[in-house]
Chains A and B, each alone.
Chain A
Amino acid sequence: MKFASSAKFAAVALTAALALTACGGGSTSSGGSAGPVDGKGKKLSVLVNSNANYPAQQKQWFTDIAAKFKAQTGADVEFETFASGNDELTRIQTSVVSGQGPDVYSLGTTFTPTAYATKAFVTLSDDDWKKVGGKDRFNQAALGISGPDAQHQAGIPFVSRPFVMAYNKDILKAAGIDKPATSWDELAAQAKKMTNPATGTFGLATGYKDNFDPWKFIWAMSVQAGNPLVDGKTLKLDDPTVKKAYETYFGWLTKDKVVDPASVGWSNSNALAAFASGKAGYLMMTTSSSVPTLEKSAVAGKYAYTAMPTTAPGQTSPQGDAANAASILSGDNVVVADYSKQKDLAFAYINLITSKDEQLNYQKIFGDLPANAEALKSLNNPILQPVADTAAKSKATPFTGAWGDIQLALVNVVVQSIPDLSKGSVDDSSLQARLKDAQTKGQASLDRASK
């Protein structure tokens, strides 16, 4: 690993040095903030995640946006894509170190704190916000993970992808359930009614082996029970609320027996497939990007989305701010690189892609919800309505550079518990030990963050 990464490192350093000598002093800063940006002869470099579901549409979108941008500013846009989070990280690392690379990056929301911690991206001033159409333009909830506080924000919301659950209307009806659950206890009770191992039907579909889903459940249940997980400089994974969350999450399999036993090996896509084949009442932790799959599946026309429960396990109604923690604040932010020599051009580009029309257009093609407030309001697709509502009821995960580690520690508890899960019970002492381990690792990381 070391060789590979440092070799890349050296290569980048070398190319950077060559590039610097090649274009020495040729660059000029772009004009003032007033009026349209003149970008004639310039080229903006943008890094976005490649859309595996719609590769052809994405290419088309690149072409269209580039043409519009050229018409507005006279500058070209060059799109680069990354396939995985790791890919992107490598790009960011090399760019951060060499001070050269894309001008604009697209980042997942939970990765934004880590990126912010590198200080390699522009923290927007009031003036900068004006250049991208003003802060008011955006769904205010979506700004929750743009920076540590309202004055220090680097991430400009681009799309929202709130997590919801899907349910099979027919299966719910057959079990005599008239409306989807709003508390985790009710969810388990409903799921029990729908489960029938003889027909292979289970109340819930979820993937215990997913690399991300598990921590979102634990986060949601803990936050709804009043534990924000990160409280200032203290990590609270050793709190009873967290243990209760794990017990509930594992309990679906071990006590309630409302999930397919095979789901100890599932990722989210396996759960989606199970739900799509009509074998599950609820599909947990999904987004609007499951629409294309479901529309072509056996449950087409029979499913609906709804917010996940907001009442913590063991409680009867949402406590405190719990009702606003239906989902993690999820989606994509765009950030402008600090080293960019054409920041105004970058802001002009962001202004274009976050405009109402472009946001609606993007939604139509890719399914992701607009971050533009007006565009979000104007959506009138009944299937997406509950998802759009959830976008306003999403809560940001703690804004700390240690979040990546905490997330990893939360998932690790599940990964190490899978053998027990598959045997049918996770005993208390081993869960306790795993939580303690997670707490130690996460707290160490948090200590580094607040140093």
Chain B
Amino acid sequence: MSTDSLTAGKSTRRKSSRAAKPDPQSPDDTPRRRKGLSERNRPLWMLIPGGLLMVIIIVVPLLLGIFMSGLDLDQYSLRKWVSAPFIGVQNFVEALTASPLLHAIWLSVSYSLLAMVVTIPLGIAGAVATQNAFKGRAVIRSVFLIPYVLPSFVVATVWRTMFQPGSVVDSVLHSVGIDPGLWLNGPQSYWTLILVQIWASWPFVYLLALSGLQSVDHEVHEASALDGALWWNKLRYVVFPYLKGPLSLAFLIGMLHHINNFTLPFVLFGVPAPSDVELLPILTYVTSFQSFRFGLSAAMAFISLILIAIPLFVYLRAVKLDDAETPGGKK
């Protein structure tokens, strides 16, 4: 994740600088490109080692996973897994009709969305608040990053301890006359998860928002000041457009990260998880490693992959993150 944010920051900066200078790689700049290293002569063979690794690490396991989802693979057939009985789409049927998969997908997606909806304004507020230099800004900025650098395992362990019945959180709330009920079991556990996720992940949005703010050119600030824009107008019409790109990226990565987050719910709630927080990764884990239904679990993973890929694809097309021609969104 940290590298993600770094590259994201760099790319925004690069994009905005491109806007000023002519881009040697841009498609409408064809004469210039011919002068450089031509596309035909690029030493593409140098990609072979990396490409090979990608095939081994990503493509082969993906294909294996899809293959496994068609097998009746469990602890009884694991040893000779290639010859496990092929049962076609039965695993998929079972996953969709006879397992809590759909419920788990709903929980995962809704919790991720809720967490993101809260973290984005938080992140922007944090970034805007530390944009202008003041005494102690470096300290504040570092403090903001603490939740982000702590390992998920540590975060979850500490929160779990605090949320124990009769522990710190309860006694504080009791002292002001509130009986909070159970945090780690029952319906409230869903909100506990969202709360901890917000705490742990808002600095990521903050980082990306900060990188977006850094890319606002001085001239723009000056121009808006000359035009007499007040702080809100300036923020709304001048600064926010710069943030659209980085924040879209933050939203995308954040959602994927939340949906795939295993450590946090696993450490917070344990296994078997309360049914209110039986998220997708937990369900897949339990199916694989407690019930040993590897085939079924592969089918579950594949279904969720597709379900996530559809909105992801639509979203990527919509925001055109990969298009260098719209740096930082519309200005």
Contact = CB atoms under 8 A, between A and B. Distances in A.
User: Does A pair with B?
Assistant: yes
Interface of A: 1-3, 5-7, 9-10, 14, 86, 89-90, 93, 96-97, 114, 117-120, 209, 211, 261-262, 264-266, 270, 401, 404-405, 408, 411-412, 415-416, 418-419, 422, 445, 448-449, 451
8 contacts: A2-B305, A3-B65, A10-B61, A14-B56, A118-B75, A120-B79, A422-B185, A448-B74
B266 to A, nearest CB: 10
B65 A419 contact: no
A404 B65 contact: no
A9 B67 CA distance: 13
B181 A422 contact: yes
Given A415-B274, A422-B181, A262 B165 contact: yes
A419 B270 contact: no
A422 B184 CA distance: 11
A97 B81 contact: yes
Contacts, number: 120
Contacts of B289: 86, 89-90
Contacts of B165: 261-262, 264-265, 422
A97 B284 contact: no
Contacts of A416: 274-275
Contact of A118 (B76, B262, B271): B76
A119 B271 CA distance: 27
Given A6-B64, A10-B56, A419-B187, A97 B76 contact: no
A10 B78 CA distance: 15
B65 A264 contact: no
Nearest to B280: A1
B286 interface: yes
Q: Which one of A1, A114, A265, A411 has the highest number of Cβ atoms from chain B below 10 Å of its Cβ?
A: A1
B65 A2 contact: yes
B68 A6 contact: yes
A166 B60 CA distance: 53
A2 B300 CA distance: 9
A1 B74 CA distance: 16
Interface residues of B, number: 46
Given A2-B65, A10-B57, A448 B76 contact: yes
Contacts of B56: 10, 14
Contacts of B86: none
B60 A10 contact: yes
Given A1-B297, A211-B270, A404 B182 contact: no
A418 B269 CA distance: 12
Given A401-B75, A422-B165, A422-B182, A408 B291 contact: yes
Given A2-B302, A10-B57, A117-B75, A445 B291 contact: yes
A119 B305 CA distance: 32
Give the interface SS of chain A, mostly helix, strand, loop or mixed.
helix
B297 A2 contact: yes
B62 interface: yes
Nearest to B56: A10
B272 interface: yes
A119 B79 contact: yes
Given A5-B288, A97-B79, A211 B271 contact: yes
B284 A118 contact: no
Contacts of B272: 408, 411-412, 415
Given A2-B301, A96-B79, A404-B292, A419 B186 contact: yes
B164 interface: yes
B79 to A, nearest CB: 5
Interface in B261-286: 262, 270-275, 281, 284-286
B79 A2 contact: no
A415 B277 CA distance: 12
Contacts of B288: 1, 5
A211 B61 CA distance: 32
Contacts of B75: 114, 117-118, 401
A6 B68 CA distance: 10
Q: Which one of A5, A7, A120, A451 has the highest number of Cβ atoms from chain B below 10 Å of its Cβ?
A: A5
B298 A2 contact: yes
A68 to B, nearest CB: 33
Given A2-B302, A118-B75, A209 B270 contact: yes
Contacts of B76: 117-118, 401, 448-449, 451
B131 interface: no
B22 to A, nearest CB: 41
B187 to A, nearest CB: 7
A114 B61 CA distance: 25
B290 interface: yes
Contacts of B270: 209, 211, 415
Contacts of B292: 114, 401, 404
B319 to A, nearest CB: 25
B166 interface: yes
Given A412-B272, A416-B275, A422-B181, 20 more contacts: A1-B301, A2-B65, A3-B61, A3-B62, A7-B57, A97-B78, A97-B81, A114-B75, A117-B76, A118-B75, A118-B76, A119-B79, A209-B185, A211-B270, A264-B182, A265-B166, A270-B164, A408-B291, A415-B274, A419-B274
